[in-house]
């Protein structure tokens, strides 16, 4: 069940979370983890070998977040468009997700990481959904790092689902249509309990956002880097966070 289905938290934006000066690092980092397949093929291995290597990299990145001041980390694991890949690769990825959750559940709970999943769960198999639910329950009281995993997620799909729920509330009389403004829709998004991302990183040299957090990233800073995801390190994340701290973020305003 998407986060936005069972709670109507107040809309939260990246602008609300800017608490430091020019040296303040990002509080919320979102990552498009790209390049697993190419990493594997460059080594003469099947694409799934790269996905397994990429899954191992996630742990290192999650563990380094507290030292960098990153409270929220959102990773793009599987998009609504990824179903177009071969049946073998999709089946392998679903198996990898099940194995990852089973293997990492205890470690994530021990390290005080809270895990949430965003995306449309209806197309996922029941065993995977059960594991996702179990991981969310197991880590619900944790607060050191908030890890959000986008699984069967697409930004347009999320906005469409949110708009449908909003329209249902208008039709049932729960919501006055005259009160709807740009702060209303975020309360229906999968990410309604999360701040907007401050920094979005895409690995592998591609310079596109691939339908990821379209609404939420309106004021995010972007970094498109050549590193393939299995080669991404904590040191590289630290460098990108440091670079973010030097940016002048005005949110449309002009400094006087």
Kindly name the residue from 6, 36, 82, 125 that is annotated as catalytic: 82
Annotated catalytic residue 34: yes
Do the beta carbons of residue 134 and residue 174 sit within 8 Å? no
Which pair of structure tokens corresponds to residue 111?
């390290």
Kindly name the residue from 6, 16, 17, 34 that is annotated as catalytic: 34
Tell me which residue of 62, 70, 57, 77 sits closest to 149, measured CA to CA: 77
Annotated catalytic residue 82: yes
The span from the CA of 30 to the CA of 112, in Å, is 19
SS (H, E, C) the chain: CCHHHHCCCCCCCHHHHCCCCCCCCCCEEEEECCCHHHHHHCCCCCHHHHHHHHHHHHHHHHHHHHHHCCCEEEEEEEECCHHHCCHHHHHHHHHHHHHHHHHHHHHHHHCCEEEEEECCCCCCCHHHHHHHHHHHHHCCCCCCEEEEEEEEECHHHHHHHHHHHHHHHHHCCCCCHHHCCCCCHHHHCCCCCCCCCCEEEECCCCCCCCCCCCCCCCCCEEEECCCCHHHCCHHHHHHHHHHHHCCCCCCCCCCC
Q: Give catalytic residues, as residue numbers.
A: 34, 82
């Amino acid at each position: 069940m998407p986060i936005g289905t069972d709670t109507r938290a107040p809309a939260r934006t990246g602008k609300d979370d800017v608490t430091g000066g020019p040296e303040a690092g990002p509080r919320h980092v979102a990552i498009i983890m790209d390049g697993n397949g190419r990493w594997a093929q460059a080594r003469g291995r099947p694409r799934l070998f790269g996905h397994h290597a990429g899954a191992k990299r996630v742990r290192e990145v999650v563990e380094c977040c507290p030292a960098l001041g990153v409270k929220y980390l959102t990773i793009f694991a599987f998009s609504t468009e990824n179903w177009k890949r071969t049946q073998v690769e999709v089946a392998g990825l679903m198996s990898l997700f099940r194995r990852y959750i089973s293997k990492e559940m205890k470690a994530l709970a021990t390290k005080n990481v809270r895990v949430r999943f965003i995306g449309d769960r209806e197309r996922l198999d029941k065993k995977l959904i059960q594991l996702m639910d179990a991981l969310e329950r197991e880590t619900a009281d944790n607060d050191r790092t908030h890890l959000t995993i986008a699984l069967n997620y697409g930004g347009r799909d999320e906005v469409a689902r949110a708009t449908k729920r909003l329209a249902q509330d208008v039709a049932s009389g729960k919501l006055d249509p005259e009160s709807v403004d740009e702060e209303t829709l975020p309360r229906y998004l999968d990410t309604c309990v999360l701040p907007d991302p401050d920094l979005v990183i895409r690995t592998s040299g591609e310079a596109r956002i691939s339908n990821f957090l379209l609404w939420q990233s309106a004021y995010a800073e972007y970094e498109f880097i050549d590193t393939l995801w299995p080669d991404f390190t904590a040191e590289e994340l630290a460098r990108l966070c440091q670079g973010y701290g030097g940016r002048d973020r005005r949110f449309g305003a002009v400094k006087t």
